[in-house]
């Protein structure tokens, strides 16, 4: 496979070949169209580019400050700069040897580099693939395929260990066409997550949005049977907690809530608890945004933060997550905790519109991002690039743990993001009592 280093060396054969292909595909590029790109779109295009590989010198890469991550940051030849952006180190609670950073450009954004230990990273990856991406938690593949009851990953492990055959997993369409009336389902092709412009949820429209019908998505009639090994590469997300309805981009509370696993909750609570929120939002922090009629609630987060929803994202190296705002949560301010595992990525976060120039941050395995407060929770953000060959040494296969081998192999081309949210404010007004 071509490495990023090959593509940066103009004397290499790989560079010459890629350049030729690039010139051919961009010959008819519409320059006027490019001039119309919003700053967010322009940044996405820049980091997505396969050739030449993007220059990351304006991407914040705080791992470079950490001597113990030297082996990790060497991988793949991808480096940002530790001083690419303006950020400030803040005081933390009960946390030895860790650091937290805030950003004047996005009040409420907190970065905790290397917050999750290597051991805990392995534990979370196992949880995500083996325990979580299976019933009762919905995955992107459930709509379209009749998945094995034991979970796709567990089946895949059995296939690789020759415990069972690599059978073809059948599309669901053949089954449901006969039983579902077409008018009760909405069609959604497979592929990346779609951008649907949904209405921001608030206490005022919550009841109406909850009551609106949420018909199941239609299984695609064009998907083909695939083996377990082929299908595992197409796993893109698994739901956490309250069920999310992708057709309307709203939660479907009628389906009930699956409890968030204690181990995941514990990491998220530890992260929120580690932050001194006065340093993030206290006196003298400007432009924190509009907290709504009840005013700021950050002072109680260390005690009241209680996640109840979220998603595990599985990105293969060529996947991207387009600019979006997570606006389906009733509580538009409480911390959203986002844990990065596996390959590194470029994360972009801008402002309330795509016209705000986004801040680029290199996220590596074990890093935690917290998005909190009105300015940050409603900020456009996305992941335009997964950086190939960046799996840290502590996630590689090791002779000491044979069972890890298949996880390590999968992670070589994958980034896992555990994205945990709080849908309801902790003290819901009467109309919000669904818990």
Size of the site for ligand AKG (CB under 6 A): 10
For residue 355, give both structure tokens: 């016209």
Measured at CB, which residue is nearest to ligand AKG? 417
Q: Would you give the end-to-end CA distance of the chain in angstroms?
A: 50
Of 321-360, binders to ligand AKG (CB under 6 A) are 321, 326, 338, 347
Q: How far is CA 426 from CA 155, 301, 310, 325, 422, in A?
A: 39, 9, 17, 22, 9
Question: Of these partners, Fe ion, ligand AKG, none, which one is at the site of residue 313 (CB under 5 to 8 Å by kind)?
Answer: ligand AKG
Of 167-186, binders to ligand AKG (CB under 6 A) are none
Nearer to ligand AKG, 191 or 213 (CB): 191
DSSP tag of 196 = -
Give the DSSP per-residue string, 62-87: GGGG-GGGHHHHHGGG---BTTSS--
User: Minimum distance between the CB of residue 137 and ligand AKG, rounded to whole angstroms?
Assistant: 15
Chain CA centroid to CA 95, Å: 25
SS3 for 150-195 is CCHHHHHHHHHCCCCCCCEECECHHHHHHHCCHHHCEECCCCCCCC
Question: Of these partners, Fe ion, ligand AKG, none, which one is at the site of residue 280 (CB under 5 to 8 Å by kind)?
Answer: none
Q: Choose which of 374, 381, 413, 418 interacts with ligand AKG (CB under 6 A).
A: 381
Nearer to ligand AKG, 103 or 347 (CB): 347
381 is in an annotated binding site: yes
User: Minimum distance between the CB of residue 338 and ligand AKG, rounded to whole angstroms?
Assistant: 5
324 is in an annotated binding site: yes
Q: Residue 229 and residue 155: Cα distance in Å, rounded?
A: 9
326 is in an annotated binding site: yes
User: Minimum distance between the CB of residue 16 and ligand AKG, rounded to whole angstroms?
Assistant: 34
Nearer to Fe ion, 61 or 326 (CB): 326
Nearer to ligand AKG, 285 or 317 (CB): 317
User: Minimum distance between the CB of residue 83 and ligand AKG, rounded to whole angstroms?
Assistant: 22
Q: Is 312 in the site for ligand AKG (CB under 6 A)?
A: no
CA angle 335, 201, 350 (to 5 degrees): 55
Nearer to ligand AKG, 252 or 367 (CB): 367
Q: Residue 324 and residue 249: Cα distance in Å, rounded?
A: 12
Q: Residue 162 and residue 32: Cα distance in Å, rounded?
A: 55
CB 49 within 8 A of CB 21: no
Q: How far is CA 257 from CA 103, 254, 435, in A?
A: 34, 9, 9
Q: Choose which of 231, 330, 383, 418 interacts with ligand AKG (CB under 6 A).
A: 383
Of 395-424, binders to ligand AKG (CB under 6 A) are 417, 419
Q: Is 311 in the site for ligand AKG (CB under 6 A)?
A: yes
Question: Of these partners, ligand AKG, Fe ion, none, which one is at the site of residue 277 (CB under 5 to 8 Å by kind)?
Answer: none
Question: Of these partners, Fe ion, ligand AKG, none, which one is at the site of residue 311 (CB under 5 to 8 Å by kind)?
Answer: ligand AKG
Measured at CB, which residue is nearest to Fe ion? 326
Q: Residue 411 and residue 70: Cα distance in Å, rounded?
A: 20
Binding residues for Fe cation: 324, 326, 381
Binding site for ligand AKG (CB under 6 A): 311, 313, 321, 326, 338, 347, 381, 383, 417, 419
């Amino acid at each position: 496979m071509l490495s990023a280093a090959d593509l940066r060396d103009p004397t290499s054969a790989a560079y010459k070949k890629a350049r030729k292909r690039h010139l051919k595909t961009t010959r008819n590029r519409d320059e006027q169209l490019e001039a119309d790109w919003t700053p967010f779109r322009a940044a996405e295009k820049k980091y997505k580019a396969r050739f030449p590989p993007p220059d990351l010198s304006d991407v914040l890469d705080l791992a470079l400050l950490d001597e113990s991550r030297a082996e990790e940051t060497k991988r793949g030849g991808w480096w940002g700069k530790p001083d690419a952006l303006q950020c400030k180190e803040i005081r933390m609670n009960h946390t030895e040897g860790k650091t937290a950073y805030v950003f004047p450009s996005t009040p409420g954004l907190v970065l905790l580099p290397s917050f999750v230990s290597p051991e805990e990273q392995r534990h979370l990856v196992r949880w995500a693939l083996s325990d979580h991406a299976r019933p009762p938690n919905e995955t992107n593949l459930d709509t379209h395929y009749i998945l094995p009851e034991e979970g796709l990953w567990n089946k895949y492990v059995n296939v690789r260990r020759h415990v069972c055959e690599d059978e073809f997993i059948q599309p669901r369409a053949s089954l449901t066409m006969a039983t579902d009336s077409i008018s009760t389902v909405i069609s959604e092709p497979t592929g990346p997550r779609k951008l649907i412009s949904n209405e921001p949820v608030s206490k005022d429209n919550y009841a109406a949005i909850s009551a609106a019908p949420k018909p199941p998505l239609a299984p695609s009639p064009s998907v083909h049977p695939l083996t377990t090994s082929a299908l595992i590469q197409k796993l893109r997300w698994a739901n956490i907690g309250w069920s999310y309805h992708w057709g309307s981009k709203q939660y479907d509370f009628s389906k009930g809530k699956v409890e968030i696993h204690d181990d995941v909750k514990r990491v998220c609570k530890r992260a929120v608890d580690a932050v001194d929120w006065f340093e993030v939002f206290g006196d003298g922090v400007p432009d924190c945004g509009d907290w709504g009629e009840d005013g700021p609630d950050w002072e109680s987060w260390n005690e009241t933060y209680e996640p109840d929803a979220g998603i595990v994202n599985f990105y293969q190296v060529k996947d991207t997550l387009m600019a979006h705002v997570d606006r389906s949560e009733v509580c538009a301010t409480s911390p959203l905790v986002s844990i990065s595992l596996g390959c590194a990525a470029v994360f972009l976060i801008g402002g309330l519109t795509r016209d705000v120039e986004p801040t680029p941050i290199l996220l590596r395995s074990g890093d935690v991002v917290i998005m909190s407060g009105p300015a940050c929770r409603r900020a456009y953000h996305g992941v335009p690039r997964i950086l190939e060959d960046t799996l840290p040494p502590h996630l590689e296969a090791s002779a000491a743990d044979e069972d890890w081998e298949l996880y390590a192999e999968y992670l070589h081309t994958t980034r896992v993001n555990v994205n945990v949210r709080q849908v309801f404010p902790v003290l819901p007004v009467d109309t919000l009592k669904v818990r």
